[in-house]
Amino acid sequence: MCGNSRGTAIPTVQIDNKRTRVTEWRFPARGDNTGWHKHAYDYVVVPLFTGVLEIETPDGKRITAQMTHGVPYYRNLGVEHDVINGNDFECAFVEIELLEQAASA
């Protein structure tokens, strides 16, 4: 994640090398958030819970995104948002940033 403003979620970097950065994001309580940020790399998220995240977008909208434990999703670089725990329980996900550009075929 790049350009992060301070949120209340707890990031723990697990791997950080030339090719990938893997961070666990833990949200202890409802309303905890990552802080506003813009992704500088393509990334994959793997939820470690089943429930919802609320995504606040630059235009002020708040979207509810359903998460399923272990079911990953992919996003391209450039996404800008604040991610918020919308559950009445602690939740977490693993974010895998792809620091190298894909090789041309």
Instruction: State the amino acid at position 9 in one-letter form.
Output: A
DSSP label at residue 2:
B
What pLDDT was estimated at residue 105? 56
For the chain, how far is it from start to end, CA to CA, in angstroms?
Answer: 27
Q: Which domains does the chain have, with CATH numbers?
A: 10-98 (2.60.120.10)
Q: Collapse the DSSP code of 49 into the 3-class scheme (helix H, G, I; strand E, B; otherwise coil) and give the result.
A: coil
Nearest to 82 by CA among 2, 7, 26, 21: 7
Q: Is the pTM of this model over 0.75?
A: yes
Handedness of CA 14, 64, 69, 8 (dihedral sign): positive
Q: Tens digit of pLDDT for each residue in 58-101?
A: 999 999 999 999 999 999 999 999 999 999 999 999 999 999 87
Residues 7-34: tens digit of each pLDDT = 999 999 999 999 999 999 999 999 999 9
Structure tokens, 4 = 């992060």
Name the pLDDT band for 6 (thresholds 50, 70, 90).
Answer: confident
